[in-house]
Chain A
């Protein structure tokens, strides 16, 4: 416990305050599998994200990390407990929400500009205005020369930039990200993390960022949630007091960063081992 530093303060989970951007209060979610069995995805799950806060969720594979995001979008409903976004219970997909997917979710038949303009167009913005805003966002993610390109003509990193522009153009107050950078190579990922932090600090959105990469979580987050092996529940919560703005390429050599990552890794390791041994038993 001597490794426990002030930088990674362990928080005690408490009932969420009323004004939180996202409040998941004591939620359990069970599925009925296609062969008729009940499966618990997450249990007794409590999580709070304050307005403008950047929260990361880490945990072993299959522990229900992505499920937490789908609870916030309303694509999944809790079996017990309740989920509130901006103080209101989640009933339908909120207009305040933006979601960046792990997989490539761009529309391959639309050019970059039409992809980015999709959100405003779906929401009834006139075409000229939507394209205008899209152009602006494409320039902000540095793809001005690629407006007319189709996704298959872009590299993986460029496609992720388009995905970010597509999400940010709706100016979401809540930003949900499901391992968005896991398919990118190291250099591109670092660049995209910087890009994300830049956009986030301008937009002041509240973020839930799911990742299996602990270092990514510590580098980005204000708060890291460590989940247990499935069925997932919150094992511990850490506040990361690294100063901002952070530079991704340098932060991983910061001694304070290394220290924090070590503390959380000690916590996470046994869950990862548990998750892996279970995976081997069930053959996943």
Chain B
């Protein structure tokens, strides 16, 4: 008797747990759907108001464009090409400059950050110069690079490099300085040489700092490349913007801006994937989906 009733109770308990779990899952799904739905709604309302405002002339489409105008511009660039050649070529040129500048600037920043972070004398000597160099508005260097390196790719890459270098350097330096002292002492006592400490303790522990800076600095590299093209170029998205600006073509400016934003988002996604791969040892962060 008692045995039967206790198994009955156990099955009942399991059933009620299953029900509770299903309910919790349904709640999570609903919340996820709600978040996505609200995001879409905000986008639609924003674009809709913009479009309507432009139609009824609350917003002057000559200056501030309109979603449909931007879309037509992008479509004509895609199908007919731009005044300077096919759209994909402009995107490719800008991306190439951005990538080269990003990679060179980031590697240089990481190397400099680690060397100065590991050597107190060098850090004390150079810190003042880095502060000065960092406070110079670096975009202005774009003009210098155009004069020195010409209208080609080199001047844009150089500008992207200086934009990226200081951000990555500052983070790498800080990351090296914040490396846990107990961990370094532990490695030393376990038998690590200074070089082994740098490669197996310092660099991994500075990695989260460095990766954080890569997110920001890719945007900076893009700004460097686009501004460089702005100042003088034969190809690229920046030139496209400056041509559109010269022709009072607000649609063109907005369209180029949106294409750049999409490019930045795609690369940002790739960097995030890379980051998750590199720091898979980290506890999972709360993710923004709330799922």
User: Footprint of B on A, CB under 8 Å?
Assistant: 73, 75, 93, 95, 97-99, 101-111, 118-119, 122-123, 150, 152-153, 166-167, 170
Prevailing SS type, chain A contact patch: loop
- Known interface pairs A119-B191, A122-B196, A170-B191; A105-B281 also in contact (CB < 8 Å): no
| Max count, chain B CB within 10 A of own CB: residue among A75, A108, A109, A119 | A109
**In the bound complex, how far is the Cα of B15 from the Cα of A133, in angstroms?**
48
User: Is B204 an interface residue, CB under 8 A from the partner?
Assistant: yes
Prevailing SS type, chain B contact patch: helix
User: Footprint of A on B, CB under 8 Å?
Assistant: 180, 182-183, 185-193, 196, 200-201, 204-205, 207, 279, 281-283
- Known interface pairs A150-B281, A152-B282; A107-B189 also in contact (CB < 8 Å): no
**In the bound complex, how far is the Cα of B192 from the Cα of A166, in angstroms?**
13
List residues of chain B with CB within 8 A of the CB of A111. 281
In the complex, the answer to whether B279 meets A109 with C-beta atoms within 8 Å is yes
In the complex, the answer to whether A93 meets B200 with C-beta atoms within 8 Å is no
- Known interface pairs A103-B182, A107-B183, A107-B200; A119-B281 also in contact (CB < 8 Å): no
List residues of chain B with CB within 8 A of the CB of A119. 190-191
List residues of chain B with CB within 8 A of the CB of A73. 189
In the complex, the answer to whether A170 meets B190 with C-beta atoms within 8 Å is yes
Quote the shortest CB–CB distance from A173 to chain B (angstroms). Answer: 13
9 closest Cβ pairs, A-B complex: A105-B186, A122-B191, A119-B190, A123-B191, A105-B182, A109-B281, A122-B192, A99-B189, A103-B182
- Known interface pairs A122-B191, A152-B281; A109-B204 also in contact (CB < 8 Å): yes
**In the bound complex, how far is the Cα of B28 from the Cα of A33, in angstroms?**
56
30 contacts between A and B (CB under 8 A): A73-B189, A75-B185, A93-B188, A98-B189, A99-B189, A101-B182, A101-B185, A101-B186, A102-B182, A103-B180, A105-B182, A105-B186, A106-B186, A107-B183, A107-B204, A108-B281, A109-B279, A110-B281, A111-B281, A118-B187, A118-B200, A119-B190, A119-B191, A122-B193, A123-B190, A123-B191, A152-B283, A153-B283, A166-B190, A170-B191
Quote the shortest CB–CB distance from B226 to chain A (angstroms). Answer: 36
